[in-house]
A and B are shown apart, each in its own frame.
Chain A
């Protein structure tokens, strides 16, 4: 399974990358902004996009909306990781059409479990 990681925090990007690799999956790309993530999604066949909300260029939520509106990417699996734990954020993530939401700080185990669930489906 190929995973795209988009987070403007390099340390967290690396942390997620390590978790992906430890779970036995492939990191297709690890980028720091929304536009690069969009380009990576269009350029490569990605099974799961793990997106931060707060990113320069395009936010994670805008990216999900763009993915859902795109004919090719409509069925893309998307996991949002955010540091904003407000109930309103969870609602916005759900409305935008993401498949899952994990709030920071997260347990690596939790992330791996979500990826396993997606891997079973793809």
Chain B
């Protein structure tokens, strides 16, 4: 099979075959080839005429007949090279018919020995499809037979001549009809054969296409396998372990070999995955895969034992593996060495602890001695001294707050921040926040308004952390509101959530800055412009606290008109106590 055969070539070949079929009944014969028979017959006739035969010859007619045959041959030669319609091919046998009639006329007419020559163009014409061909052929015969009588070369001298004059065209016409019918049948067969051939070509083409596609897929599969092999061998930081249902190792990647010290030969079919665990951490295999068996995602920290007995911390993800029928076939364990991660975590904690200690200790001294000075009844301070020490105390507490905030964000980063939810009375939390904000608000000339209704609304929340979140928003609102403005705290209750809304009539925040407000150390343009104190941690912390409660923060603001920040807490987070309003 020619694998590279172009489908376009196949189509062109089919079209060419079809054109030949339309052009003649000899299938794919060219017009010149079909004309060869006539040329040969005329050459023989001329040779006969050159010999001393007893035939009256009109040389001019014979020469015209010869010229016509040659002209027809020339036309047959050039026809395929022109843009003329295939129907023009019929001009060749028609011309030949005329030549045969003239030759008969020029060689004693009725007595001519070359009357049979008309058979050649007759067969050609009659084999062309359609009644038209039969009519042309019959007309040709009548012309050939009648011409000598018309020109007076022959005459009807007996009843037999008259009969011949009528019977010969009739017999030839019947022959033409028969040839036409046979040609029609043959043509139809040929057409069917060609259609079958074309169909076969199409099938071959389809098959070749399918073969090429299959080959391409095979190559893709080979490439994918190579890629997978490469990746499989390159994964050295993770151990990928496959087991059967009992925990016996069936798959052991190079990462597993490098992390755990067993070669694939030592592990596969010999090692049970439970042998990688310390006895005090794991009782049995069922305990290890129980979660995965229940169809749940299981990612846990384990201590893994190497072949040499040493231990390292590993985060292991376990998933159940199913076979082709969807039945449990075993498990896949992906273990990551957590040694470095744990060390980084430890260093981070150590750093946070160190910073905490090193900053809090001097602050403790400052605040402690200020307290001693201010509470010394034996030596009371002057008003001015009291004022100065008040400034020292306030700034030391600002520093302390900053240290606390930094530590808090470090704790959130390390994932160590958890809220301890207990039944918490939200109006109580808001009232406490309002009270602690009141002195600062009064000093700043900002009116504090409460729209918190009397009564209880109990949610499961961490009262200390939630209080811290509300304090942050409230103190921000006061700081961002110029003298004469107001800050309103409201508690809105909806069926599925509770909203703590703090609105102010302050400077507002530009719209393009709203989405950045909870970014660490981000400060709004209006904060810088109006010299509002702060470092940009308040809302970061508030967001962490609210998120830990399963809630969200909604912020809306208009520059020059004010800002509204809402803490939305889901009622679903209620634990231990029903919500009462």
Contacts and interface: CB of A to CB of B under 8 A. Distances in A.
A, B in one complex: yes
A119 interface: no
Interface in B355-376: 356-369, 371-372, 375
Interface string A22-53: 10000000000000000000000000000000
B361 A12 contact: yes
B452 interface: no
A83 B356 contact: yes
Contact of A105 (B353, B363, B375, B411): B363
Contacts of B369: 11, 15
A54 interface: yes
A85 interface: yes
A19 to B, nearest CB: 8
Contact of A104 (B361, B371, B407): B361
A108 interface: yes
Interface size of B as a range:
20 to 34
A15 B372 contact: yes
Given A15-B369, A15-B372, A105 B356 contact: no
Given A84-B353, A84-B356, A106 B361 contact: no
B368 A106 contact: yes
Contact of B360 (A19, A83, A109): A83
Contacts, number: 63
A12 B364 contact: yes
Nearest to A9: B361
Contacts of B371: 107-109
Secondary structure at the B interface, as helix, strand, loop or mixed, is helix
B357 A83 contact: yes
B367 A105 contact: yes
Interface string B367-392: 11101100100000000000000000
Contacts of A54: 357
Interface string B318-343: 00000000000000000000000000
Nearest to B360: A83
B271 interface: no
B548 interface: no
B353 A104 contact: no
Contacts of B407: 85-86
Contacts of B358: 83
A18 interface: yes
Contacts of A15: 364-365, 368-369, 372
A11 B365 CA distance: 6
Contacts of A109: 371, 375
B400 interface: yes
Nearest to A22: B372
Contact of A106 (B352, B364, B375): B364
B369 to A, nearest CB: 6
A108 to B, nearest CB: 5
A11 B360 CA distance: 13
A103 B364 CA distance: 9
Nearest to A82: B357
Given A9-B361, A105-B360, A105-B363, A86 B368 contact: no
Nearest to B367: A105
A105 B357 contact: no
Nearest to B418: A87
A81 B356 CA distance: 14
A106 B369 CA distance: 11
Interface string A90-103: 00000000000001
Contacts of A84: 353, 356-357
Contacts of B362: 11
Contacts of A107: 367-368, 371
A85 B404 CA distance: 9
A1 B353 CA distance: 33
Contact of B368 (A82, A83, A103, A105): A105
Contacts of A12: 361, 364-365, 368
Nearest to B352: A86
A9 B364 CA distance: 10
B492 to A, nearest CB: 32
A83 B365 contact: no
Contacts of B359: 83
Contacts of B367: 105, 107
Nearest to A106: B364
A104 B360 contact: yes
A85 B358 CA distance: 12
Given A84-B356, A86-B353, A104 B372 contact: no
Contacts of B365: 9, 11-12, 15
A18 B372 contact: yes
Contacts of B361: 9, 12, 83, 104
A32 B118 CA distance: 140
B368 to A, nearest CB: 4
Contacts of B411: 86
A104 B364 contact: yes
Contact of B372 (A9, A82, A86, A108): A108
Among A18, A83, A85, A86: residue with most chain B CB under 10 A: A83
A93 B407 CA distance: 20
B513 to A, nearest CB: 32
Given A83-B364, A86-B407, A105-B364, 8 more contacts: A9-B361, A9-B365, A19-B372, A83-B356, A84-B357, A86-B352, A86-B353, A108-B368
Q: Shortest 3 CB-CB distances between A and B: which pairs?
A: A83-B360, A105-B364, A104-B364
21 contacts: A11-B362, A12-B361, A12-B364, A12-B365, A15-B369, A15-B372, A19-B368, A19-B372, A54-B357, A82-B357, A83-B364, A85-B404, A86-B353, A86-B407, A103-B360, A105-B364, A105-B368, A107-B371, A108-B368, A108-B372, A109-B375
